[in-house]
Amino acid sequence: MRLTIERLVLLACALAVAILTLILLQPWRTGAEYTIDYIKGEGEEVAEAIERGSPVRTTLNWEGERIGLTVVATIPREEPLRVGVEYCRLYTPAPSIEGTSIVRGSPPTKVFERFRRVSVYHAGDRVVVDPKPFVGLEIVEEYNRSVYVVEVVLFYIRGDPTVGSVLRLSNRTTTTYSRRYDYSGTSTIEIGGQVAFRLQVNSEDILVLRIIRENWVVSG
């Protein structure tokens, strides 16, 4: 009886070890799946560094891609303010999948963020790190009128990060545009055709649009 119990205990332990080994090694997964996970993990590391504004050493080759957008501020009963901008996103080749897999952040169809967040997604045969424009609004009361301060922060990179290189923030440049509202009404702020803010403004109110470009460089 004792021998039977000991055998059962040994059998249970052996079975537990076998199950744990399967869970850890996951032998049913393909090499492509391991590769995709590694690339996604690298993409997340780069995205988190950009969010923090801190340097990051890359372990993959990345290519920069410039994306052009138009910032449009509609002005009641007047011509809108239009400003063409561009930002950069990074991508690296990956095993091909159908459709798009979101690793973090928002899908490619969303063109801006309301807070500092960098998206990573696997689309087709590449993994993309997409620091979409960050858009913020501050309303300041000044001389019995409202001043609407809109900031658009853009990620811009010089050079392509390669294995072992360091991607770091070099400086920020700001370009400011301002308009006075001569008529009351609704003013919208659009980024790439998507509405970021809808403002109810009065005559004599002021719009201040700040385009802030974060200039990142590759070294090492």
Is the distance from CB of 203 to CB of 183 less than 8 angstroms?
A: yes
Q: What is the pLDDT of residues 102-152, one digit of tens each?
A: 999 999 999 999 999 999 999 999 999 999 999 999 999 998 999 999 999
pLDDT at 16 over 70: no
What mean pLDDT is predicted for residues 206-214?
A: 98
Band (pLDDT 50/70/90 cuts) for residue 93 is very high
Q: What is the pLDDT of residues 38-55, one digit of tens each?
A: 999 999 999 999 999 999
Percent of the chain with pLDDT over 90: 80
Band (pLDDT 50/70/90 cuts) for residue 26 is low
